[in-house]
């Protein structure tokens, strides 16, 4: 049995097409399947559309979250309710080609020793130059920060064995990076290239992307802290040189006329000190949010579970 898992947020325009296309793929494979759709507190009529679709797709199970928790929390919520021997995770926006379920399952059948088949985006169509550039720079930056342990350009789409899903549910990070968690969990993994085509609508604003990028850097790398230490060392070194310069000019010329230089240097030190405190504060806030041990999500309602 395959559990097809996705999350929705204001997805009323395309969620029915998603269900139809992936139903055809699952039937083509000849495997029994179920849909697990987690609605991340959509503000449109997505939930209504999903409930109406239960008449046509009787294997559709819907989870409504109490508020918008984000895609990562929504997917992990869905993991808890998947009953299949395999879980196929993908986005509901249909930007990735809809034959992926068949492709991923056929790739698994070539070597059944693999535990995860994950997607790597090889081509993006109809994306703006700015979005493509931001994505490439961000992925390369994360790849270097994590010492090349997290593969670049990963998509959400992946086929996962049930035993791996059970291990993933043991991860308790409140804020996390999906590619980082899938990398951390280990097991035998294989990549499969996928293509994406922008359909003109996205709920990810530039602010959300920037916030997500900052969250990943803080969560999966100590590089900012190392950078602070390096800056401290450089400033200390130049401060020592400045002391030697003051002693030299005072001893040989009887005065020191570097007041402007000192003021600029003090301004630089002050600015870097505030920046350093801000970076350390971000790490402390992460610890604070984690030790509060609040739930990653709260379920408001579940639909169509009693029929299966």
Per-residue confidence (pLDDT) for residue 176, from 0 to 100: 67
CA atoms of 202 and 38, how far apart (whole Å): 18
Q: What percent of the chain has a predicted confidence (pLDDT) above 70?
A: 69
Taking only the tens place, the pLDDT of each residue in 244-302 is 776 777 677 666 556 656 666 676 677 677 777 777 777 777 777 667 677 888 889 88
More confident residue, 51 or 152: 51
Instruction: Give the domain 2-221+293-303 fold.
Output: Spore Coat Polysaccharide Biosynthesis Protein SpsA; Chain A (3.90.550)
User: Binning pLDDT at 50, 70 and 90, where does residue 9 land?
Assistant: confident
pTM of the predicted protein model: 0.69
Per-residue confidence (pLDDT) for residue 77, from 0 to 100: 87
Per-residue confidence (pLDDT) for residue 255, from 0 to 100: 64
Per-residue confidence (pLDDT) for residue 127, from 0 to 100: 57
Other beta carbons within 10 angstroms of residue 282's beta carbon come to: 14
Instruction: From 184, 159, 156, select the one nearest 172 (Cα to Cα).
Output: 184
Domain boundaries, the chain: 2-221+293-303
- Strand ranges in the chain using DSSP code E only, listed in sequence order: 2-8, 33-39, 60-65, 86-89, 116-125, 154-161, 189-197, 299-303
Long-range CB contacts (within 8 A, 24+) of 22-30: 22/98, 22/101, 23/57, 25/98, 25/99, 25/101, 25/102, 26/2, 26/101, 28/102, 29/2, 29/101, 29/102, 29/105
């Amino acid at each position: 049995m395959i559990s097809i898992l996705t999350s929705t947020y204001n997805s009323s325009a395309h969620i029915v097409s998603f269900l139809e296309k992936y139903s055809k793929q699952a039937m083509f494979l000849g495997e029994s399947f179920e849909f697990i759709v987690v609605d991340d507190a959509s503000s449109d009529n997505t939930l209504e559309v999903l409930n109406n679709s239960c008449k046509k797709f009787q294997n559709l199970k819907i989870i409504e979250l109490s508020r918008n928790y984000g895609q990562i929390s929504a997917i992990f919520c869905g993991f808890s309710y998947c009953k299949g021997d395999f879980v196929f995770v993908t986005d509901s926006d249909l930007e990735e080609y809809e034959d992926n379920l068949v492709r991923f399952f056929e790739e698994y059948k070539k070597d059944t020793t693999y535990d995860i088949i994950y997607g790597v985006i090889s081509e993006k169509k109809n994306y703006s130059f700015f979005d493509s550039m931001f994505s490439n720079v961000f992925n390369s930056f994360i790849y270097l920060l994590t010492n090349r342990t997290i593969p670049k350009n990963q998509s959400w789409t992946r086929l996962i064995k049930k035993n791996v899903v059970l291990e993933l549910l043991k991860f308790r990070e409140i804020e996390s990076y999906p590619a980082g968690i899938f990398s951390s969990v280990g097991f035998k993994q294989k990549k499969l290239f996928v293509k994406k085509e922008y359909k003109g609508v996205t709920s990810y604003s530039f602010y959300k992307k920037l916030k997500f990028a900052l969250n990943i850097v803080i969560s999966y790398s100590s590089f900012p802290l190392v950078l602070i230490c390096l800056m401290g060392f450089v400033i200390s070194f130049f401060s020592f040189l400045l002391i030697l310069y003051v002693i030299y000019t005072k001893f040989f010329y009887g005065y020191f006329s570097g007041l402007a230089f000192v003021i600029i240097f003090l301004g630089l030190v002050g600015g870097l000190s505030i920046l350093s405190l801000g970076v350390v504060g971000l790490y402390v806030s992460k610890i604070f949010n984690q030790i509060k041990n609040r739930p990653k999500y709260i379920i408001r309602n579940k639909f169509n579970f009693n029929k299966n």
